[in-house]
Amino acid sequence: MEKNRFDDNKLIALIALLASSLIVVSVMFAITYFNDVKHDDARLDVKRCYIKESPSTLSPNT
């Protein structure tokens, strides 16, 4: 039996598609991971977070 050249091209295209997908997923993971690591020290301090009341909402001391 003779091999069909068209089947070999499909196999090469499938391998290239899977390899490029793996590269894209790896790059996206690295970008999100390093972005999270870079901003790790700038977290919100919840103990200092409060809502400031405007002077008009405060009750007058009369």
- How does pLDDT run across 2-61, given as a tens digit for each residue? 667 668 899 999 999 999 999 999 999 999 998 887 765 556 666 666 666 666 665 656
Start-end of H helices in the chain? 5-38
How confident is the model at residue 36, as a pLDDT?
80
How confident is the model at residue 11, as a pLDDT?
92
- Tokens matching residue 20: 């490029």
Longest dimension (CA), the chain: 103
CA 23 from centre of chain:
15
How confident is the model at residue 28, as a pLDDT?
97
How confident is the model at residue 41, as a pLDDT?
54
Length of the chain equals 62
